[in-house]
Amino acid sequence: MIKWKRPDNIPFPQVWWRFSAKDPDTGDTVDYRIEDLTEDRYEEVVDLMIKYFIPDEPICICLDNANDAAFVAESREIWAQAVARKFTLVCYKENSREICGFNMLQVLRKSEDVNQVQIKRPAYIIFQFMKKKIDLYNRYNVDQFLGEAGLLTVPKYRGCGIATELLKARVPVMKALGV
């Protein structure tokens, strides 16, 4: 279990990033904003992860995780805990509350980063193996970094650059956190 939570000195909610991109409905260029996910949308975001991430993520596809009820339930719990930390960035079109995409963020610390996920399902074992193999702490000589528990672009918005902008929005977040 990750102990990190959003610091009280960082205002919540706030807009972190704005950009212009294609509207998938019209093809016109429209404005988007990336802001903190508010509590009234937590369950919806977790549901979107279950609906789109598990069936579309390559490792989950290979392991047929969408048809593994225990995996789905455990993933739901992990993602519910992630959004409760109050650091999920969500993308909306300006003047809209339709979710276009989101990124569940977390600060990972070397001192706390020991078997964060206790679930021993094959997908999580693979994710842990890849994380250990990369070893960002030693590779970049850092004690902490901004990680994530999931990034998703809703299918309707894929190809509009939403995921790229969600990644760009991490820069002001990292500055605010001092990471």
Please give the helix or strand (H or E) that residue 44 lies within, else none.
Answer: helix 42-48
Q: What's CA 28's distance to the chain center, in Å?
A: 27
pLDDT band at 45 (very low <50, low <70, confident <90, very high): very high
pLDDT tens sequence across 56-108: 999 899 999 999 999 999 999 999 999 999 999 999 999 999 999 999 998 88
Q: Which domains does the chain have, with CATH numbers?
A: 15-177 (3.40.630.30)
Q: What is the pTM assigned to this prediction?
A: 0.88
Q: Residue 3: is its pLDDT beyond 70?
A: no
**In the block, which residue shows the tokens 């001192």?**
111
**What does the angle CA 65 – CA 71 – CA 76 come to, to the nearest 5 degrees?**
115
* CA–CA distance, 34 with 130 (Å, rounded to integer): 29
DSSP character string of 88-143: EEEEEETT---EEEEEEEEEEETTT-SS------HHHHHHHHHHHHH-HHHHTT-S
Find the mean pLDDT for residues 12-20.
97
